[in-house]
Structure 1
Amino acid sequence: MSNESNEYYKAYLREKQARDELETLLEDKTRSLYLANQELEANLAQLKRQHAAILQSEKMATLGVMSAGVAHEINNPLAYINGNIGTLGQVAKGVSDLIKTSQSFSKDAIDQDDFKEAFAQLESQYQLCFFAEDAQDLIDDCQDGCQRIATIVASLLDFARPKNNEFVMADMTEAIDSALGLLANQLKHIELSVKKSDIPMSHCNLAALNQVVINLLMNAKYACEQAKSEGMHASSEIELHIKKVSTHIIIEVTDNGTGIAQDTIPHIFEPFFTTKPVGQGTGMGLAVAYGIVSEHSGTINVASTEGEGTTVTVTIPVNHVK
């Protein structure tokens, strides 16, 4: 073999060796990338589980804060249901005796005078004529009370139940209405102004947005109560507004509460940061709200002046694509 051929062969071997080394290196890198990707996917799944657990934990904490107001909201219809049933129960004996007396009269067991006397006694004892006029109203009140309780309980169960965090096409106004329904008793001493403009359907998580609105309203209520107790304002006022501006939906909550110090505002979205006394706040409400709004590719901003009040603005882009 000539020297020239030998040199070509050596060059071929060097090239083959380099190619083999590169292929081996590529296989190693590919394997490493695959394992790293698997680890990232596992970490992401764990983070999602932890995020869901935090959301649920904050939801239950919020539910605990609302429980006193919700109990009162349920007790009101229960009270008049109980009263109406007591009235119906008392009259039921009189109606039963009247039916028996009427049967005796129809069978000629008693004459007309005896029937009239028996009826007069029953009317005097049980006020049967009053019952005949008002019975349907009493029943309607009971049904209305039962429906109110059922609605409240259904709303609580829906709020407390873990959600699958599905995004669907929906009207975000529903999240507002649901929150207001749950907080009706909590906000009954607040001068609440709700403005709802027509907004388009958007791809969103209504259950999560409901939690955001509840957290914002609860914070506003607390600030208003503090301001009133400190003599800052004669009345507690909250304004809730949902509207569409350009390609975004805006949810705005404004209160005339105590306001937030400027050096505190940068920290309010930090987990476990709270200005409330121990036992009155978890420090997770705004952190969770921030996370939910971020999931919707939105922003949440706070403007506040101490002694005057706070405005929280949630801005979420309208999403028709998914």
Structure 2
Amino acid sequence: MSNESNEYYKAYLREKQARDELETLLEDKTRSLYLANQELEANLAQLKRQHAAILQSEKMATLGVMSAGVAHEINNPLAYINGNIGTLGQVAKGVADLIKASESFSMNASDQDEFKETFTRLESQYQLCFFAEDAQDLIDDCRDGCQRIATIVASLLDFARPKNNEFVMADMTEAIDSALGLLANQLKHIELNVKKSDIPMSYCNLAALNQVIINLLMNAKYACEQAKSDGVCSAPAIELQIKEANEQIMINVMDNGTGIGQDTLEHIFEPFFTTKPVGQGTGMGLAVAYGIVSEHSGTINVESKEGEGTTVTISIPIKHTT
């Protein structure tokens, strides 16, 4: 073999060795990237589970704060249902006795005078004529009360149930209507002004937005009650608005409560930060709201002055697809 051929062969070997080393290095890097990607996916899945757990914990805490008002909301229809059922139960025996007397009279087992005497006695004892006029109203009241309770319970179960955090095309006004339905009793002593404009459907998570609205309204309610207790305002009021502006869905919650100091305002979105007494807040309400709004590519802004009230503005871009 000539020296020239030998040099070519050595060059070939060097090139092959370098190529083999590069392929080995590329394979190692690919394997490392794959393992790193697997780890990132696992961490992301864990973060999503933790996020869902935090959302659910905040829901349960909010539900606990709302429980007293919800119980009162259920007790109202229960009271008149029980009263109506008691009236219906008392009259039922009189109606049964009247039916027996009618059957006896129709079979000639008793004469007309005897039937009249029986009817007069039953009417005096059970006020059957009064019952005949009001029976349908009593039944309708019971039906309406049962429907009201069923609606409240269904709303509570829907709010408390863990969601899949699914985004769908929906009208965000539904989240406001659901929140107002759950908080009807909580807000009955506060002047509530709701302004709803027609808005387009948007790709959103209604269940999560419902939680945001509930958190904001509960905060506004607490601030208003504190302001009234401290003598800052005599007529607590909350205004809730939803409208479209510049391809954004704008949701505003305004109150004339105690307001928030500048030092406190800087920390309101921090997890577990709260100015409420123990048992009245977890410090996660605004942190959760911030996370949910961010998931919708939106922004949440809070403007407040001590003694003058607070305005929370949420801006969410309208999305027609994922």
Q: TM-score range by the shorter chain?
A: over 0.9
Q: Which residue of 2 aligns with 1:12?
A: 12
Distance across 1 between alignment mates of 2:19 and 2:265: 59
Alignment of 1:299 with 2:294, yes or no, is: no
SS in 1 for 2:263: coil
Distance across 2 between alignment mates of 1:269 and 1:319: 25
SS in 1 for 2:166: coil
Listed one character per residue, the Cα deviations across residues 156-187 of structure 1 (whole Å, up to 9, x for unaligned) are 00000001111110000000000000000000
Distance across 2 between alignment mates of 1:58 and 1:189: 25
Q: Which runs of 5+ in 1 are unaligned?
A: none
Listed one character per residue, the Cα deviations across residues 264-322 of structure 1 (whole Å, up to 9, x for unaligned) are 11211111000111111100111111111111111111000110000011111000022
Listed one character per residue, the Cα deviations across residues 169-224 of structure 1 (whole Å, up to 9, x for unaligned) are 00000000000000000000010000000000001110000000000000000000
- Aligned-residue offset at 1:103: 1.1
- Aligned-residue offset at 1:235: 0.9
Q: Which residue of 2 aligns with 1:89?
A: 89
Q: Which residue of 2 aligns with 1:52?
A: 52
Q: Which residue of 2 aligns with 1:104?
A: 104
Distance across 1 between alignment mates of 2:103 and 2:13: 119
Q: How does 1:1-322 map to 2 (within 5 A)?
A: 1-322=1-322
SS in 2 for 1:264: helix
Distance across 1 between alignment mates of 2:190 and 2:208: 24
- Give the AA of the match of 1:248: Q
Distance across 2 between alignment mates of 1:154 and 1:279: 25
- Give the AA of the match of 1:216: L
Distance across 1 between alignment mates of 2:108 and 2:186: 62
Listed one character per residue, the Cα deviations across residues 68-119 of structure 1 (whole Å, up to 9, x for unaligned) are 0000000000000000000000111110111111111112222111111111
Distance across 2 between alignment mates of 1:54 and 1:118: 69
- Aligned-residue offset at 1:148: 0.1
Q: Runs in 1 of length 4+ with deviation above 6 angstroms?
A: none
Q: Which runs of 5+ in 2 are unaligned?
A: none
SS in 2 for 1:97: helix
TM-score by length of 2: 0.98
Distance across 1 between alignment mates of 2:159 and 2:23: 56
Percent identity reads 87
- Aligned-residue offset at 1:14: 1.8
Distance across 2 between alignment mates of 1:264 and 1:27: 54
Distance across 1 between alignment mates of 2:141 and 2:14: 95
- Give the AA of the match of 2:112: Q
- Aligned-residue offset at 1:5: 3.0
Distance across 2 between alignment mates of 1:263 and 1:306: 11
Listed one character per residue, the Cα deviations across residues 23-68 of structure 1 (whole Å, up to 9, x for unaligned) are 1111110000000000000010011111111100100100000000
- Give the AA of the match of 2:174: E
Listed one character per residue, the Cα deviations across residues 232-263 of structure 1 (whole Å, up to 9, x for unaligned) are 00111000000000110011100001101111
Distance across 2 between alignment mates of 1:178 and 1:81: 25
TM-score by length of 1: 0.98
Distance across 2 between alignment mates of 1:250 and 1:309: 19
- Aligned-residue offset at 1:16: 1.7
Kindly tell me the number of residue pairs found equivalent between the two proteins: 322
- Give the AA of the match of 1:60: M
Distance across 2 between alignment mates of 1:232 and 1:203: 41
SS in 2 for 1:133: helix
- Give the AA of the match of 1:21: E
- Give the AA of the match of 2:317: P
- Give the AA of the match of 2:36: A
- Give the AA of the match of 2:9: Y
SS in 1 for 2:254: strand
